[in-house]
Chain A
Amino acid sequence: MSASETLTAGRVLRGAASVAAHLASIVVLLAAWELFARSGAVTMFVLPPFSAVAERIWADAADGSLWLNIGATLYRTFAGFLLACVIGIGLGVAMARTALARWFFDPIISVGFPMPKVVFLPVIILWLGVFDASKIMMVTLEAIFPVVTATVVGIQGVGHELIWSARNMGAKDRELLWQVLLPAAFPQIMTGIQVALPIALIVAVFTEMAMGGFGVGGNMMHASRFADSRGVFAGIVEIAVVGYCLVKGLAILRRRLLLWHQEAVAPSTV
């Protein structure tokens, strides 16, 4: 076995060990949940056992309502999130490159970022009604800020040498943007996008709770109104799994897209 092969084998082993450790603590948590719920210390209403919740999710998956609800939530999350990414990156580039855009939007972004935008929900309902449009609008409104600020910081941080060299070799504005600025700023933009995705999911679930209808959030509120605590806990488990997959998926995508970047060599933290 060559040195590099031993290294890979060691890495695989270590990876397997860490996956096992991860699974172990999740399994312990679920077992503790099950035992505590069955111990009689709390009623079935306050904490239904995990097995009952899992059964409920299984039944929902079998009759298709699970996929309908998760699909609706994901559609709103992604529609709002993608709008936030496209508009946010566009606005960020404009602010980093032109003084007029920076002058106009800078105070709006810096005042708007720390505000709890969810509070505008009644206003948005007043304008757009209670259907998908207002939910997607809320998601975009809350998720756009991290993308804009990350893009501005990223583009402004691109080294002058890079820009000058590109100009010197005859790059036009458009080429400069697509081939130099955006790739060079991409790690930071990606960080902003990674912050924005969980926010998008939080807001999507919240708007569904506030307005009802299909979706995991609406379904949980419905269950809660009928004192169906299994339904509520089923919703929590579903949304926790979805959130975990989305965040992990984006982290993997980042590693793929940034293979060329030096950060890929460095040990990753989360």
Chain B
Amino acid sequence: MKAVLIRYAPLLILAIVWQLVSQFELVSSTALPPLTRIAEAWFSLLTSGELLKNAVSSLYRGGVGLALAIVVGAALGIAMAWWRPVNVALGPLVEAFYPMPKSALIPVTVIWLGFGDGSKILLIFLGCMLPVTIGAFNGARSSEQVLVWSARSMGASRLRMLWDVVVPSALPDLLNGIRTALALAFILMVTSELIVAREGLGNLIGYLGANGSYDAMYGVVLTVAFLGFAADRIYQIFMHRMLAWRDMAT
């Protein structure tokens, strides 16, 4: 308990400085409202149901887009590592599109699918797929030759080998790729909603900011930041659990 307190004391100090600085108007309290007022505004957003409604619609978009990206991305990466022709055909495309700034796709997805959920899901899917693909590809390619040979000499079929040897050994890199994708999903979700949307947390932030209700806007901004942080922590716990077998073996 004490160790945790000492570790996170700097965050507490920052919060106290924030509160004092704006309480005593050292900076304009419009530009930096006191935390107590932000908390009040946040509660009224929560009780009115506004926050929950927008959070559900944002997380739905992020969740569906990310799930699609994981399924398609992992399959693509493993296929590229397993069948050489697939790699020759698709490898250069993956390499060419990987460094492309994904936010550039926002207007295109709007042209294709309009202002609703579809365009956000497509954007998140396209943006998150390549990190997953590259993770799966690197992991599957590095599966130990000895394991592959032993499996073959024990008479495993190609498909069985894929499932029992290649996929498990691709798992650590694949899970790391998914972690990158998770962070990207949040970024793309918020950016696309800030620029073009009718609902969602990003849209709520833009709306509150345009109306000058900065207390509430700060509340939603901090909520999204917290959700991104919490999602990453929960994913890390999940990742450790998934890889527990590997730590036991070594």
User: Restricting to A184-230, which residues have a CB under 8 Å from any CB of B?
Assistant: 198, 201-206, 209-210, 216-217, 220-221, 223-224, 229
Question: Is B100's beta carbon under 8 Å from chain A?
Answer: yes
Question: Is A256's beta carbon under 8 Å from chain B?
Answer: no
Q: Kindly state the separation between the CA atoms of A29 and B97 in the bound complex, as whole angstroms.
A: 12
From A7-15, A60-68, A103-111, give the one contacting chain B.
Answer: A103-111
Q: Kindly state the separation between the CA atoms of A2 and B8 in the bound complex, as whole angstroms.
A: 64
Residue from B9, B112, B228 in contact with A46 in the complex, judged by beta carbons closer than 8 Å: B112
User: Restricting to A208-263, which residues have a CB under 8 Å from any CB of B?
Assistant: 209-210, 216-217, 220-221, 223-224, 229, 232-233, 235-236, 239-240, 243-244, 246-248
Q: Is the CB of B101 within 8 A of A25?
A: no
Question: Is B159's beta carbon under 8 Å from chain A?
Answer: no
B216-250 to A contact mask, C-beta < 8 Å, 1/0: 01100100111011011100000000000000000
B154 proximity list for chain A (CB < 8 A): none
Q: Kindly state the separation between the CA atoms of A21 and B91 in the bound complex, as whole angstroms.
A: 10
Question: Is A126's beta carbon under 8 Å from chain B?
Answer: yes
User: Restricting to A1-57, which residues have a CB under 8 Å from any CB of B?
Assistant: 21-26, 29, 45-46
Q: Is the CB of B96 within 8 A of A26?
A: yes
Question: Is A170's beta carbon under 8 Å from chain B?
Answer: no
A178 proximity list for chain B (CB < 8 A): none
Q: Kindly state the separation between the CA atoms of A150 and B102 in the bound complex, as whole angstroms.
A: 24
Q: Is the CB of A209 within 8 A of B103?
A: yes
Chain A residue at minimal CB-CB distance from B214: A126
Q: How far is the CB of B173 from chain A (nearest CB, A)?
A: 11
Question: Is B146's beta carbon under 8 Å from chain A?
Answer: no
Question: Is A123's beta carbon under 8 Å from chain B?
Answer: yes
User: Restricting to B95-120, which residues have a CB under 8 Å from any CB of A?
Assistant: 95-108, 110-112
- Chain A interface mostly helix, strand, loop or mixed? helix
Q: How far is the CB of B185 from chain A (nearest CB, A)?
A: 9
Q: Kindly state the separation between the CA atoms of A26 and B106 in the bound complex, as whole angstroms.
A: 22
Question: Is B186's beta carbon under 8 Å from chain A?
Answer: yes
Q: How far is the CB of A165 from chain B (nearest CB, A)?
A: 32
Q: Kindly state the separation between the CA atoms of A111 and B227 in the bound complex, as whole angstroms.
A: 11
Q: Is the CB of A244 within 8 A of B96?
A: yes
Q: Kindly state the separation between the CA atoms of A224 and B100 in the bound complex, as whole angstroms.
A: 19
Q: How far is the CB of B101 from chain A (nearest CB, A)?
A: 4
Residue from A125, A223, A243 in contact with B99 in the complex, judged by beta carbons closer than 8 Å: A243
Q: Kindly state the separation between the CA atoms of A126 and B225 in the bound complex, as whole angstroms.
A: 18
Question: Is A164's beta carbon under 8 Å from chain B?
Answer: no
Q: How far is the CB of B187 from chain A (nearest CB, A)?
A: 5
Q: Kindly state the separation between the CA atoms of A241 and B91 in the bound complex, as whole angstroms.
A: 17
Q: Is the CB of A247 within 8 A of B221?
A: no
Q: Is the CB of A119 within 8 A of B107?
A: no
Q: Is the CB of A126 within 8 A of B209?
A: yes
Q: Kindly state the separation between the CA atoms of A247 and B134 in the bound complex, as whole angstroms.
A: 15
Query: Which of A115, A116, A205, A210: most chain B Cβ within 10 A?
Result: A116
Q: Is the CB of B88 within 8 A of A21?
A: yes
Q: Kindly state the separation between the CA atoms of A125 and B218 in the bound complex, as whole angstroms.
A: 13
Question: Is A268's beta carbon under 8 Å from chain B?
Answer: no
Q: Kindly state the separation between the CA atoms of A233 and B111 in the bound complex, as whole angstroms.
A: 10
Q: Is the CB of A270 within 8 A of B95?
A: yes
Known: A221-B195, A232-B107. A25 touches B93 (CB 8 A): yes
B233 proximity list for chain A (CB < 8 A): 114
Question: Is A131's beta carbon under 8 Å from chain B?
Answer: no
Question: Is A58's beta carbon under 8 Å from chain B?
Answer: no
A107 proximity list for chain B (CB < 8 A): 7-8, 10-11
Q: Kindly state the separation between the CA atoms of A179 and B218 in the bound complex, as whole angstroms.
A: 45
Chain A residue at minimal CB-CB distance from B230: A114
Q: Is the CB of B221 within 8 A of A120?
A: yes
Q: How far is the CB of B140 from chain A (nearest CB, A)?
A: 13
5 sampled A-B residue pairs with Cβ under 8 A: A25-B88, A107-B11, A115-B228, A239-B100, A270-B134
| Given A107-B10, A114-B229, 5 further pairs, Cβ under 8 A | A116-B187, A116-B189, A224-B110, A243-B100, A270-B95
B interface list, Cβ under 8 A from A: 6-11, 14, 30-31, 88-93, 95-108, 110-112, 134, 138, 183, 186-187, 189-191, 194-195, 202, 205-206, 209, 214, 217-218, 221, 224-226, 228-229, 231-233
A interface list, Cβ under 8 A from B: 21-26, 29, 45-46, 103-108, 111, 114-123, 125-127, 198, 201-206, 209-210, 216-217, 220-221, 223-224, 229, 232-233, 235-236, 239-240, 243-244, 246-248, 269-270
3 smallest A-B Cβ distances: which pairs? A114-B232, A247-B99, A224-B107
